[in-house]
Amino acid sequence: MAQDEEKAMFPNRDRGEKLAGHASSDDIPSPHPTLATKQRGILARLGRWESRLDARLGIESEAIIRKRAEEKTDVSWTEELNMALLWASGTMNTSCFATGFLGWEFGLSLKQTILITIFSSILGGTVTAYCATFGPATGLRQMSVSRYSFGWWPNKVVALLNCIQQMGWAAVSCITGGLALTAVSDGRVSLILGIVILAVVALLISFVGLTAILAYERYAWIIFLIIFLVILGETGRYADISSPATVAGPALSGGVLNLIAIVYGSSASWCTTASDYYVHYRADVSRVKVFLLTTCGLAIPTAIGMLTGCVVASALNNQPQWRATYTDQGLGYLIQEVLYPRGFAKFLLTLLVLSGINTNVISIYSASLSFQQLARPFASVPRFIWTLITFACILALAVGGREVLNTYLQNFLSLLGYWCTSYVVILFEEHLVFRKGKFERYDLEAWNTPAKLPVGTGAAVAFCLGVVSWCMGMSQSWFVGPLAKAVTDAGGDVANELTFVVTALTYLPARYLELKYLKR
């Protein structure tokens, strides 16, 4: 039985009453049964230590297991607002502010950049919001949900991609926050030290788990909303609202397509983590409510941060000193330059540094869950170990990419949107067409039983053809696909559009054949 196998793998899952009563640590069994027989093994000891921490601090020693209906309780409407506020805190940050400069760098006008930013933020937000609706209904984390489409083995590739994606997002956040910290300290704090500080604080919050994350993210967004409104208030008068785009013809089309891909990727890339933060909601919560709150929680804050960047970037046309500061010293010093008085600017910049922590908290937590789903032995490694490994990888990425922030953003965020498009199309068609839009058609007890899950050949075929589509339509500094070159010699990114069409058309027949011949 699938449930028996789950209990064998996670014997600690039914110990709720004992933990609620703060049982003695000696009575708490190891949550890692594959190592339980090695009583003197290092991982066995770490597993028991994690269980003791779980009993006292609730650090989620068995985070990837399915949350059953009897484990969920009613939540108030204020707690349901976390569906929006979580993402508001995670996206309203210096990374989005920096992304707002890209339209100006592509030669687009302020009006064009604003329209593209709003439209693409909403579009990407709906992608993530759709995936979020699976969390309450199934009680499964996002990488477990996709096993019902990708199967056991192909889904491991998806989990690995998600690990890379979340660490990349966190690295971008560390870089932009580190730049701000360097500026506010007048260079006394190096960029590398700033990156380390941001990563360490996020590590501590992620270490505890979902409870701490939701508590922190519920209120963090307020500070950054105020800061971005202040920046808009002080720089708006200098915005260049009259100048047309500095590019035309194919170059203009290419810039528009590239910016759409980047902004869309910024919001859509959260789709591979969405249900991680919804498993504690009851299955009967309105899916429409989940969808709308998540969309608003992503699209509005993302747009606010990016639009602030758009306005400041356009003002560089009218303020030569600002432009020189941005070119010579970077984003952090520019923020300090545009705000006044100087003491107030330093105070706001100090607070803005903390915005990098918000993204990192989500990314580190979800990456550690994805690592646990790469292989059965990996699930036996305590989550906090994966959290530490994720932390180390983020530091390496951030330090390595710190000198080429805008190139890093353009390449990385666009690439994220490509595979997320394939991912959500496959989930959507599996649920709507093959499961008839009903969660009763999912054998939720089989979430961890390979023999009862799809083989995944249909998803693998569609996903691989999606990869071909990315390569044909992508426009990156290191590679421009043939279809992207057809737009302009410099490249016009059409990878997401092409990926959507190809994945949607190939998954249906591939999955039908999988069901017909493999019966799963």
pLDDT tens string 458-513: 999 999 999 999 899 998 877 889 999 998 887 889 999 999 999 999 999 999 99
What is the pLDDT, as a whole number, of residue 410? 61
Indicate the burial class of 2 (C-beta count within 10 angstroms; 0-12, 13-18, 19 or more): middle
Q: In degrees rounded to 5, what are phi and psi of residue 391?
A: -60, -45
**In a 3-state reduction of DSSP, which class is residue 475?**
strand
Query: Mean per-residue pLDDT for 321-344?
Result: 89
CATH topology of domain 72-404: Hydantoin permease (1.10.4160)
* Distance of alpha carbon 156 from alpha carbon 371, whole angstroms: 9
What is the pLDDT, as a whole number, of residue 53? 58
Give which of 405, 368, 390 is closest to 191, Cα–Cα: 405
Both structure tokens of 236:
């708006």
Residues 275 and 142 sit within 8 Å (Cβ to Cβ): yes
Mean pLDDT of all residues in the chain?
85
What is the pLDDT, as a whole number, of residue 35? 38
DSSP 84-103: HHHHHHHHSSHHHHHHTTHH
* Distance of alpha carbon 140 from alpha carbon 313, whole angstroms: 42
Residues 492 and 475 sit within 8 Å (Cβ to Cβ): yes
Inform me whether the pLDDT recorded for 371 exceeds 70: yes
Indicate the burial class of 190 (C-beta count within 10 angstroms; 0-12, 13-18, 19 or more): middle
- The confidence band for 58, taking pLDDT boundaries of 50, 70 and 90, is low
3-state secondary structure 478-508: CCECHHHHHHCCCCCCCHHHHHHHHHHHHHH
**In a 3-state reduction of DSSP, which class is residue 194?**
helix
Q: Which residues of 96-107 are buried (b: 16+ CB within 10 A; e: fewer)?
A: bbbbbbbbbebb
What is the pLDDT, as a whole number, of residue 46? 66
Bond before 341 cis per omega within 30 degrees: yes
Parse the chain into domains and list their residue ranges.
72-404
Identify residue 380 by its one-letter amino acid code: S
pLDDT tens sequence across 181-236: 888 888 888 888 888 988 888 888 877 777 777 788 888 899 999 999 999 999 99
What is the pLDDT, as a whole number, of residue 218? 86
Residues 469 and 498 sit within 8 Å (Cβ to Cβ): yes
pLDDT tens sequence across 297-329: 999 999 999 999 999 999 999 999 999 999 998
What is the pLDDT, as a whole number, of residue 18? 36
Query: Mean per-residue pLDDT for 444-451?
Result: 94
What is the pLDDT, as a whole number, of residue 415? 72
Residues 402 and 192 sit within 8 Å (Cβ to Cβ): yes
What is the pLDDT, as a whole number, of residue 17? 36
Inform me whether the pLDDT recorded for 285 exceeds 50: yes
* Distance of alpha carbon 141 from alpha carbon 161, whole angstroms: 15
Residues 276 and 365 sit within 8 Å (Cβ to Cβ): yes
Instruction: Report which of residues 213 and 258 the model is more confident about.
Output: 258
Query: Mean per-residue pLDDT for 34-53?
Result: 57
Q: In degrees rounded to 5, what are phi and psi of residue 29?
A: -75, 160
What is the pLDDT, as a whole number, of residue 275? 94
Both structure tokens of 203:
């590590």
Identify residue 388 by its one-letter amino acid code: L
Residues 6 and 65 sit within 8 Å (Cβ to Cβ): yes
Inform me whether the pLDDT recorded for 28 exceeds 70: no
Inform me whether the pLDDT recorded for 33 exceeds 60: no
pLDDT tens sequence across 76-116: 888 899 999 999 988 888 889 989 999 999 999 999 999 99
**In a 3-state reduction of DSSP, which class is residue 304?**
helix
